[in-house]
Structure 1
């Protein structure tokens, strides 16, 4: 099986596995306790915090560890909203933000606040001036992701950050797909990320709140993690996450350039080999590891299942669930085909042979599904 779904979860980095196992022996105790075992765990926790902060360009006391990237997004949005004197302040977010950000923003809206969605173009990119136009007086938070999790389009974070700074509005950047793969532009006030996107273990998220940013925990008070996250973090997993991030950052430039070359081949060859395919996202403003496309006349889930049988682990960004029957909000916001969608996201170490075998198998998979649906002649 060629694993090509790193945007969902990256395989565990070997260094993280080694450190995780060792930390289970040394960092199992409560890091808040004063006995020897607790102090040892506390030192490991602060070592991890400093390592993550160094990669992200933050101070260690600005970094908190959460139970997931989703929790980090929820805390970022709701904490920035709770810190305002006016609870009706608006959250401004692009229409293609991750559902974790949008769900928290809608919770804020249900509690009496406002939510303003910024439209995107057909490549999934918002205009900085459109964001700025909605970030007027009374804005509690602006949320702009570093790169989209479904189509790979990056957003003008630096330009938005400059506009937010002029207005005194905090900027949240969901950097889950960028951290460890591409530099995150400056200008953010809050940043969130998820360790299992860069090769760390699952169950570790990161919330960074810059000094001076208005933020108050929306949860009951807890002395852990600077008062931002309740409960003690899992020290062995956090340390493994930090080591994986440092390893990914050290190899970032070379590996991202290599994966970007493979993605360029996919973007060039998929439409050439498979008729009636639409590439999604921006060719210019994009993450280095992710490509998405939609195949007419078939549904994405069927393509993903058939590719899995052929030995390729990919995903679909347009899944309609039985409970909601709603396609991807990202693709809807872009105004593009919402079915037949396939997302290929390359983990570190993906080879040319992995990509070539995928390109060889994809035409037959799609042709077979179209034939079964009786649309092969369209």
Structure 2
């Protein structure tokens, strides 16, 4: 059943990455990361449907700091769902989880104003700056995703953020979306995370 969830979640929900080794892992656990999603909000949506799941790594699930485990894995630190299937979990529960999950993720993304991928007018600026100061992840990543098509191929976007999670989540977003993470620059407040559009 764990393998079934690992295979089906990316098929059912766009912009999702199943993390961790598919073989060398605990057999009853799996984790996936959803772009443009606040993990705690998603947990509440799933809880309303009767599912008790966790977010982040088990090492830091009770704190608001980015997980050092997820950081070491170079995956999103925000928008993670950790599913545990205890011995005796009915297959019907897995079926219902897979039915409920797409709508729950969509609801959270809509609440956060996540981008919907639609064709845009041709890009006109080589460099853009996104001011996400004072906003917690996943908002800086959402704002980056909204404007990535506004720069031409090879153009750059500077995301201003003072949220520590942005240091981890922006490079992870770049890896998931096929964009180039250039690096971090000092800024008057927080940091500027530079991304080059490559696709």
Query: TM-score, normalised on structure 2?
Result: 0.55
CA–CA separation in structure 2 for the residues paired with 1:288 and 1:325 = 27
> What is the aligned partner in structure 2 of residue 27 from structure 1?
none
- Relative to its length, the structure with more strand (as a share) is 2
Q: 2:5 aligned with 1:266, yes or no?
A: yes
What secondary structure does 2:41 align onto? helix
Deviation at residue 345 of structure 1 after TM alignment: 0.5
CA–CA separation in structure 1 for the residues paired with 2:85 and 2:64 = 28
CA–CA separation in structure 2 for the residues paired with 1:320 and 1:283 = 22
Q: 2:68 aligned with 1:343, yes or no?
A: no
- Distance 1:337-1:353 versus aligned 2 partners, 3 A rule: same
CA–CA separation in structure 2 for the residues paired with 1:314 and 1:302 = 12
Structure whose alpha-carbon radius of gyration is higher? 1
Query: TM-score, normalised on structure 1?
Result: 0.29
> What is the aligned partner in structure 1 of residue 27 from structure 2?
288
> What is the aligned partner in structure 2 of residue 365 from structure 1?
104
- Aligned residues of 2:54 and 2:61 also touching (Cα < 8 A): no
- Aligned residues of 2:55 and 2:61 also touching (Cα < 8 A): no
CA–CA separation in structure 1 for the residues paired with 2:98 and 2:19 = 17
> What is the aligned partner in structure 1 of residue 51 from structure 2?
312
The one-character-per-residue Cα deviations of 1:190-248 (angstroms, maximum 9, x if unpaired) are xxxxxxxxxxxxxxxxxxxxxxxxxxxxxxxxxxxxxxxxxxxxxxxxxxxxxxxxxxx
CA–CA separation in structure 1 for the residues paired with 2:64 and 2:80 = 15
Q: 2:42 aligned with 1:303, yes or no?
A: yes
> What is the aligned partner in structure 2 of residue 329 from structure 1?
68
CA RMSD of aligned residues (A): 1.6
- Aligned residues of 1:267 and 1:291 also touching (Cα < 8 A): yes
Deviation at residue 288 of structure 1 after TM alignment: 1.1
The one-character-per-residue Cα deviations of 1:42-63 (angstroms, maximum 9, x if unpaired) are xxxxxxxxxxxxxxxxxxxxxx
Residue-pair matches, total: 115
What secondary structure does 1:313 align onto? coil
Unaligned ranges ≥5, structure 1: 1-261
CA–CA separation in structure 1 for the residues paired with 2:116 and 2:11 = 18
- Distance 1:283-1:371 versus aligned 2 partners, 3 A rule: same
Deviation at residue 270 of structure 1 after TM alignment: 0.3
Where do residues 180-199 of structure 1 align in structure 2 (5 Å cutoff)? none
- Of structures 1 and 2, the one scoring higher in RCO (CA 8 A, sep 6+) is 1
Deviation at residue 358 of structure 1 after TM alignment: 0.2
